[in-house]
């Protein structure tokens, strides 16, 4: 094979690989919380306290990280087709916005039950908010 053909073949393959990678990256969806290791495990009470004491530090520590939070269910809410579980804190609580796959698990849960949630921390308003949350134990 002539040298210039080899060279062009290399360039075409390189470009095709680049396009394939770009396309895959562009269409990438969020990784499931099931497949991400837990960054930290804590309780609802101590997590809320950390945010109340120093929100900036707690944001740096927990935001965008997958954490597992143990607590007592304060309420289970269905709002705008989203299922949320709220764990009690002393003042605020921890709101877990559940993954769609977790909805059926809430049927057997009730206020007062102990529960561990695993989700991605997004910060603190009146409560700490976890998104893409899954139920670890029941």
111 touches 73 (CB < 8 A): yes
Residue 125 contacts another protein per CB under 8 A? yes
- The residue from 1, 2, 3, 28 that contacts another protein (CB under 8 A) is 28
Helix (H, G, I), strand (E, B) or coil at 8: helix
Burial 11-31 (b: 16+ CB within 10 A, else e): eeeeeeeeeeeeeeeeeeeee
DSSP characters over 58-89: HHHHHTT-EEEEEEEEEEEEEETTEEEEEE--
Q: How far apart are CA 136 and CA 114, in angstroms?
A: 11
Residue 122 contacts another protein per CB under 8 A? yes
Q: In angstroms, give the least distance from the CB of 118 to another protein.
A: 17
- The secondary structure of the chain in percent helix, strand, coil, rounded to multiples of 5, reads 40, 35, 25
Residue 53 contacts another protein per CB under 8 A? no
Q: How far apart are CA 87 and CA 76, in angstroms?
A: 9
Q: In angstroms, give the least distance from the CB of 59 to another protein.
A: 6
Residue 19 contacts another protein per CB under 8 A? no
- The residue from 97, 99, 106, 115 that contacts another protein (CB under 8 A) is 97
Q: In angstroms, give the least distance from the CB of 120 to another protein.
A: 8
| x-or-dash string of contact with another protein, 55-74, rule CB under 8 A | ----xx--xx----------
Q: In angstroms, give the least distance from the CB of 10 to another protein.
A: 27
Q: Which residues bind another protein (CB under 8 A)?
A: 25-31, 59-60, 63-64, 77, 79-80, 82, 84, 95, 97, 122-127, 129, 131
């Amino acid at each position: 094979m002539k040298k210039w053909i080899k060279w062009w073949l290399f360039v075409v393959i390189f470009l095709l690989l680049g396009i394939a990678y770009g396309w895959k990256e562009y269409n990438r969806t969020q990784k499931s919380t099931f497949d991400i290791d837990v960054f930290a495990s804590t309780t609802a009470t101590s997590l809320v306290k950390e945010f109340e004491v120093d929100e900036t530090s707690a944001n740096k520590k927990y935001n965008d990280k997958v954490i597992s939070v143990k607590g007592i269910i304060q309420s289970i809410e269905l709002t705008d087709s989203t299922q949320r579980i709220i764990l009690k804190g002393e003042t605020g609580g921890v709101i877990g916005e559940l993954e769609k796959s977790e909805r059926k698990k809430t049927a057997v849960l009730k206020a007062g039950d102990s529960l561990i949630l695993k989700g991605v921390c997004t910060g603190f308003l009146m409560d700490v908010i976890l998104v893409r949350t899954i139920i670890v134990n029941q």
